[in-house]
Structure 1
Amino acid sequence: MEELLAVMARLRDPEQGCAWDRAQGFRSLVPHTLEEAYEVADAIERDDRPAMRDELGDLLFQVVFYAEIAREAGSFDFDSIAQGVTDKLIRRHPHVFGDHPPLSAESQRETWEAIKAEERAERASDDTAPSALDDVPLALPALTRSRKLQSRAARVGFDWPEPHQVIDKVREELGELEEALSDVPRDQAHIHEELGDLLLACVNLSRRIGVDADQALRDGNAKFERRFRGLEAILADAGEHPQAAAFDRLEAAYQQAKERDQEQLRLNIEPNQ
């Protein structure tokens, strides 16, 4: 770790460092940090352990980069970052590091959230009332942020009692979107709003049934990609091109690719049957 910090300091050296590294600031690094985080997620999705190691190193380097910029400005350094997160973990796990009795997973989550709520209240300014929605980052992907906002609201009682009520809400929002699409002339701003409401309801449903919406969509994307590539292969075997095929032909090839995909998944899951 000391060697890595020394390398980072050398990269930022005004005389002997790298011009690109010296030019960076907190804001300019944000896109790179997000990209590195997604590359970590991609390596995990592929279960590529060597890539995971490399990508986690790249992500760690982002933290080191921010720490060096802050150290130069006299704000904080890597040691204070590490100490801060250490103190936070100890504070939020009294059942591990304190004299609190052991907790179930659910009780642990409730205690964790209660401690976080106390921390948010302490950070709130005197003239601003703390909100259950404080500190949900705007930069989060929309699906993730939606789930966090709705989870926070649910902790103070703003939640549907049963999942089937959320399904009814999804149907309601879908109906309102259909109505907006039938307007003549179309009001694109209204359609935009109703689609947002529908997506919000879908994320709420995923939360209530214990499914991560972002992960479910990533899995859905992967499935669609597999099957569309299968569609392309089927057309190629027949000497056809997707651009020249009618929709009915594309749909038939997609359904054929879907059947092959499902069969392959069955064989992978049940290799001895």
Structure 2
Amino acid sequence: MSGDDSQQLCLDPHGGMPRLLEIMARLRDPETGCPWDVEQDFDTIAPYTIEEAYEVADAIERRAWAELRGELGDLLLQTVYHAQLASEAGHFDFDAVVRSISDKMVARHPHVFGGESRDKTADDQTRDWERMKAAERAGKAERGTLDGIAAGLPALTRALKLQNRAARVGFDWPSTDDVIDKITEEARELNEARETMSEAETFEEFGDLLFVVANLARHLKIDPEAALRAANAKFTRRFRAIEVALAALGRRPEESDLAEMDALWDAAKQAEKADVNEVEVESHGKRAARQS
């Protein structure tokens, strides 16, 4: 592509995917590109890829649809970036990435693109998907039950995946009650021994406790990462309410004490519950009006 054609494509608002690919190629040009982009490699870009994926999840949880459009674009750029790096190194290009995922989706959905019946539940389809993934792992010489689970996943997510794999071969507590009993046991042991354990032992025992908590999330069919993100958001909202309340009194948190901040926390909690109840009453009224 000539320089003029490249420039025209990069500035064309209707250029679509070819435009984005050309922009990335231009940014990576050793002579005319952006010095920062030229210096990057797979290792330096990978953290941004993870961050962008979380920002997509955050926008979805907040139902921030206008933001989601931009966040998805940021995440797409990460794929384009890695594909450009791979192309420069002679590994593969963006078309190969698209072809790979397209082939995978077709192969894993024979009930849509092949002759298999669609007369299955979502759980049936999930089991079929896992069987196909297991066959693919076998083809890659990944023989172990836990093979192929990325070590770079967030720890709670990886714990969940490890436990799911082990459960498929029967290594699992039979009931949720058993998991809760184990959490109680682990917490008690940690509490009783924390004064006598070494720092390394305390670290290990605390990790064991978190691992069992992740297992409880699996038994309850809860995404622990999403649950913790929600808890973080709730803590942020309520602590900010404390700061606002103190600011109205002309003070900052460090000028308060735990008892006062605890009371303000409870007030923020009650206010949130009142807001939720008000929304539920309003929603119920609208439904009743539609039905009348």
TM range (shorter): over 0.9
Q: Does 1:210 align with 2:190?
A: no
Following the alignment from structure 1 to structure 2, what is the Cα–Cα distance between the partners of residues 61 and 122?
31
Q: Secondary structure of 1:271's partner?
A: helix
Q: Does 1:118 align with 2:135?
A: yes
Q: Which amino acid in structure 2 is aligned with residue 257 of structure 1?
A: A
Report what 1:255 is aligned to: 266
1:41-120 matches, within 5 Å, as 41-102=57-118, 103-120=120-137
Residues 243-252 or 56-65, more deviating: 243-252
TM-superposition CA deviations, 1:14-33 (whole Å, max 9, x none) = 22211111111111111111
TM-superposed CA distance for 1:237, in Å, is 2.7
1:1-273 matches, within 5 Å, as 1-102=17-118, 103-124=120-141, 130-183=143-196, 186-271=197-282
Q: Is the 8 A contact 1:166 1:201 kept in 2?
A: yes
TM-superposed CA distance for 1:235, in Å, is 2.3
TM-superposed CA distance for 1:91, in Å, is 1.1
TM-superposed CA distance for 1:206, in Å, is 0.7
Following the alignment from structure 1 to structure 2, what is the Cα–Cα distance between the partners of residues 68 and 226?
41
Following the alignment from structure 2 to structure 1, what is the Cα–Cα distance between the partners of residues 144 and 134?
9
Q: Secondary structure of 2:194's partner?
A: helix
Q: Is the 8 A contact 1:234 1:257 kept in 2?
A: no
Residues 2-11 or 263-272, more deviating: 263-272
Q: Is the 8 A contact 1:10 1:16 kept in 2?
A: yes
Following the alignment from structure 2 to structure 1, what is the Cα–Cα distance between the partners of residues 25 and 134?
37
Following the alignment from structure 2 to structure 1, what is the Cα–Cα distance between the partners of residues 281 and 156?
33
Give the structure-1-normalised TM-score: 0.93
Q: Is the 8 A contact 1:40 1:56 kept in 2?
A: yes
Q: Secondary structure of 1:160's partner?
A: coil
What are structure 1's unaligned runs of at least 5 residues?
Answer: none
Q: Secondary structure of 1:133's partner?
A: coil
Following the alignment from structure 1 to structure 2, what is the Cα–Cα distance between the partners of residues 270 and 213?
30
TM-superposed CA distance for 1:113, in Å, is 0.4
Q: Secondary structure of 1:191's partner?
A: helix
Q: Secondary structure of 2:282's partner?
A: coil
Following the alignment from structure 1 to structure 2, what is the Cα–Cα distance between the partners of residues 194 and 243?
33
TM-superposed CA distance for 1:188, in Å, is 1.8
Following the alignment from structure 2 to structure 1, what is the Cα–Cα distance between the partners of residues 78 and 220?
35
Following the alignment from structure 1 to structure 2, what is the Cα–Cα distance between the partners of residues 234 and 16?
54
Following the alignment from structure 1 to structure 2, what is the Cα–Cα distance between the partners of residues 234 and 165?
43
Q: Is the 8 A contact 1:180 1:190 kept in 2?
A: no
Following the alignment from structure 2 to structure 1, what is the Cα–Cα distance between the partners of residues 92 and 216?
41
Q: Which amino acid in structure 1 is aligned with residue 211 of structure 2?
A: L
Give the structure-2-normalised TM-score: 0.87
TM-superposition CA deviations, 1:106-162 (whole Å, max 9, x none) = 1111110011011111111xxxx6111111111111111111111111111111111
Q: Is the 8 A contact 1:180 1:187 kept in 2?
A: no
Q: Which amino acid in structure 2 is aligned with residue 35 of structure 1?
A: E
Report what 2:9 is aligned to: none
TM-superposed CA distance for 1:78, in Å, is 0.5
Q: Which amino acid in structure 1 is aligned with residue 276 of structure 2?
A: L
TM-superposition CA deviations, 1:29-62 (whole Å, max 9, x none) = 1111112112212221221222111111111111
Following the alignment from structure 1 to structure 2, what is the Cα–Cα distance between the partners of residues 6 and 157?
50
